[in-house]
Amino acid sequence: MWKLGVNPMSESYAVLIGRKPVMNYVLACITSFHGGAKEVSVKARGRAIARAIDVVEVVRGRFLPDVKIARIGIGTDQIPIREGSQASNVSTIEIVLQR
């Protein structure tokens, strides 16, 4: 299950995107910013990447127009399919929003 992650040592939050509706993640981002976060990191991999982009655009377009994209990181994770077999490559994205 994906959930909102909080790092108590900084003002940075992470929203991990999964299979839930877009508005659930939008609400998590907005709640983080209203809770005092200076940065919110939206992370996704695989098919959830499109949903992560939708979340960022809804947050910026409809609810918090003062939020800017600080940076975008892309990469690849190797996920083992079965024990003893080859790993599968899965694309990842991290979009950092800053207020």
Query: Tens-of-pLDDT digits for all 99 residues of the chain?
Result: 334 555 544 567 999 999 999 999 999 999 999 999 999 999 999 999 999 999 999 999 999 999 999 999 999 999 888 777 788 999 999 999 999
Query: What is the amino acid identity at position 67?
Result: V
Q: Are 88 and 79 in contact (CB under 8 A)?
A: yes
pLDDT single digits (tens) 29-45: 999 999 999 999 999 99
Element of type H or E holding 75: strand 68-80
- 4-6 and 87-98 strand pairing: unpaired
Check residue 82 and give its pLDDT: 79
Task: List the chain domain ranges.
Answer: 4-98
pLDDT value, residue 6: 52
pTM: 0.85
Q: What is the CATH number of domain 4-98?
A: 3.30.110.20
Q: Cα(first)–Cα(last) distance of the chain, in Å?
A: 27
